[in-house]
């Protein structure tokens, strides 16, 4: 299994340009996530999906859009790039396990896309 793959690894955009960050997972996970991580900081949730055809906003969705037409793919779209969107973007997928006592989630992350908006 390749796990979670992301393309491109690095991209420079000019202000106002648009682009799509690709994310694919081959683990048949229902849940997928997009995070951004600014230098020295933690993860901020942008959008997430609980299954094909279903997406929802996270903490910082403004300026981004997503779609989930298949279980495997979860692309993130930036329509009008702004300098504030300079960051490292991580895609993750997860499975959830539940027993009589507790439920838990394990997220698997891609290697990230480093985006610079000038």
- The residues of the shown chain that bind other proteins, judged by CB under 8 A, are 4, 40-43, 45, 48, 50, 90, 92, 94, 96, 98, 101-112
Q: Cα-atom radius of gyration of the chain, to the nearest Å?
A: 14
Nearer to other proteins, 14 or 40 (CB): 40
What is the secondary structure of 24-70 as a DSSP string? EESS--SEEEEEEE-TT---EEEEEEEETTEEEE-S--TTEEE--SS
Nearer to other proteins, 67 or 109 (CB): 109
Q: At closest approach, how far in Å is the CB of 16 from other proteins?
A: 28
């Amino acid at each position: 299994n390749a796990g979670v793959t992301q393309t491109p690894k690095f991209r420079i955009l000019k202000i106002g340009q648009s682009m799509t960050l690709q994310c694919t997972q081959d683990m048949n996970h229902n849940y997928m996530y997009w995070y951004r991580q600014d230098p020295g900081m933690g993860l901020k949730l942008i959008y997430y999906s609980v299954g094909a055809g279903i997406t929802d906003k996270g903490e910082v969705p403004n300026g981004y859009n997503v779609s989930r037409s298949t279980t495997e793919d979860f692309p993130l779209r930036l329509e009008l790039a702004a300098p504030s969107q300079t960051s490292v973007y991580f895609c993750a997928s997860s499975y959830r396990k539940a027993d009589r006592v507790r439920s838990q989630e394990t997220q698997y992350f891609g290697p990230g896309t480093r985006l610079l908006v000038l």
